[in-house]
A and B are shown apart, each in its own frame.
Chain A
Amino acid sequence: MNHLSMAQLFECADGTGSDTVSRHLNACEECRARLRAVIVTEREIRTLPHEHPSEQFTRRVMERLGIKGSSSLAWTVFRNLGPLVAMSAVTGIVFVVLKRTGVLGGSDIGESMSATGKLADSVTHQLSGGAATLSMWLQNLLPSGFGGSSLTVAIFLLLSLAAVGVLDRFIVSPIWRKRIEQG
C-alpha cells in the first residue's frame, strides 16, 4: 500500500484533504500517526512565544522620530490655564485704560464694571481669609518660629506644588502612558 505523500498529509492537516486520502487514513494506522505528528508540530509552532525587543525599544523609536511623550498632567493643566490668565490680564489692562481715560464714566458698561470690581474685592477678601486660615494652621502645625509668616505660607505652597509635580511625573504620567500604550 502506498502511503500518503507529505503534501497530502499537509492538506489533511489544513482540512483540505480529499475523500481518497480520508479513506486511506481510516485504513492506515501509520499514516494516521504521521498526520498526528504534523498536527502536533504545527500546533506547537502556533503557540511559540513571540520575541521581545529590548526594554528601551519604544522610547528609542519615539526619540528617533522626534516624538515627545504626551505632556505631564500638571503641565497640561498649566498650559490650558495659560491662555485664560493671559486673556484676563489683557481684559484687565483694557479696562484700566478705558477707566482712566474716562471712556467708561457714567455709561452702563461703567456700572457693570463697578459691580465686577465689587465681586473682585469680595474674591480678594475670601482669598485673604483663606491665606490667614492656612497661616494659622501652619502656626499650629509647625514648631514656633516657623509658622505664621507669609514666607512660610509661600514655601508651603511651593512645596505642595512640587509634591504634585513629582507625583505627576513619577506616578500619574507613567500609569497614563502605560494605558495609552495598551490602547
Chain B
Amino acid sequence: MPLSDDQIVEKIRDGARHYYRQLVARYKDRGMTLALRILRNREDAEEALQDAFVRALRGLDAFKGQSKFGTWFYRILYNACISNLEKRSRRTKEVELDEDEGYELHEMGHSAPLSVQIEMRDLADIVKRTIESMPEKYAAVLTLFYLQEFSHEEICGITNLPLGTVKTHLFRARALLQRRLQREVPEGVST
C-alpha cells in the first residue's frame, strides 16, 4: 500500500531523506502543469518546479501539517513561478477582459445553432491553447480548480489572494474560455 504524504514526511523527518523521491514522483507532473500554465515556457517551468522541490525539503520543518502537503507544496511552487515571472519582468500579451466588455453570452452571439459536433480531440486542443493564451493569473486559478481539484479556499491559501479575487479570476477564466470557444467553434460545442 502506498505511503500517504504525511507518512513520507514523517520518514523524511526521521532521517530517511531518500523517501523524498516518492513525493517528487507524486507531484512533479501536476506541478509541471501548473508551472507551465503560469510561465508558458518549459525550461522556466522546470526550473521553478525544481526550485520548489528544493525549497520544500529545506523548509520541511516549517510544514506543521495544518494543511495538506500538496497545498503547502503548491504554495511554494506558485511563489516560485511568480518570482520567476517577476524576475523575467516579462509583460505578457494579455487579452485582459475589460469590465465593460462583459461576459454575457448574448454579446457573444449565443444564438448559434448547436448543429455541428466537433471532434473531442479538437476541443481538447482548443481548450489547451486557450488556457495557454489566457492571462497567467486566470490560467493558474483555472488549473488549480479543475486539474488539481482544489477548493476556492485552498486556492486562496496557495495564491495568497482574497476569496473574492479567486472567484473573480475563476469566473473570468471560465468566461474567457467560453468566449474563445464560441469564436473558434461558432457552430457550437456538443457531445
List chain A positions with a Cβ less than 8 A from chain B.
3, 5-7, 9-10, 30, 33-34, 36-38, 40-42, 44-48, 50-54, 57-58, 60-62, 64-65, 67-70, 177, 180-183
Q: Which of B17, B32, B49, B127 contacts A50 (CB 8 A)?
A: B32
A9 to chain B, nearest CB (A): 7
List chain B positions with a Cβ less than 8 A from chain A.
2-3, 8, 17-22, 24-26, 28-30, 32-33, 36, 45-46, 49-50, 53-54, 57-58, 103-106, 110-111, 114, 120, 123-124, 127-128, 131, 142, 146-147, 149, 171, 174-175, 177-178, 181, 188-191
Q: Which of A7, A36, A64 contacts B50 (CB 8 A)?
A: A64
A6 contacts B103, C-beta separation under 8 Å:
yes
B24 contacts A62, C-beta separation under 8 Å:
yes
Taking CB atoms, residues of chain B closer than 8 Å to A53 are: 28-29, 32, 45-46, 49
A42 contacts B174, C-beta separation under 8 Å:
yes
A51 contacts B32, C-beta separation under 8 Å:
yes
Main secondary structure of the interface of A (DSSP, over half): helix
* Known A37-B181, A41-B123, A67-B17: A182·B2 in contact at CB below 8 Å: yes
Taking CB atoms, residues of chain B closer than 8 Å to A45 are: 127, 131, 142, 146-147, 177
Taking CB atoms, residues of chain A closer than 8 Å to B50 are: 57, 60-61, 64
Max chain B Cβ within 10 angstroms of own Cβ: one of A3, A62, A65: A65
17 additional A-B pairs beyond A7-B171, A51-B33, beta carbons within 8 Å, are A30-B110, A33-B190, A37-B178, A38-B174, A38-B178, A41-B177, A50-B147, A53-B45, A54-B46, A57-B24, A58-B24, A62-B21, A64-B50, A65-B58, A67-B18, A177-B21, A183-B2
Q: List 20 A-B contacts (CB under 8 A).
A: A5-B105, A6-B103, A30-B110, A34-B110, A36-B190, A42-B146, A45-B127, A45-B147, A50-B30, A51-B29, A52-B32, A53-B32, A62-B21, A62-B24, A65-B20, A65-B53, A65-B58, A180-B22, A181-B21, A181-B22
A48 contacts B127, C-beta separation under 8 Å:
yes
Q: Which of A34, A42, A54, A183 contacts B105 (CB 8 A)?
A: A34
Taking CB atoms, residues of chain A closer than 8 Å to B177 are: 41, 45
* Known A58-B24, A181-B22: A48·B124 in contact at CB below 8 Å: yes
Of all chain B residues, which has the CB nearest A48?
Answer: B128
B147 contacts A44, C-beta separation under 8 Å:
no
Taking CB atoms, residues of chain A closer than 8 Å to B106 are: 3
* Known A51-B33, A57-B50, A183-B2: A6·B147 in contact at CB below 8 Å: no
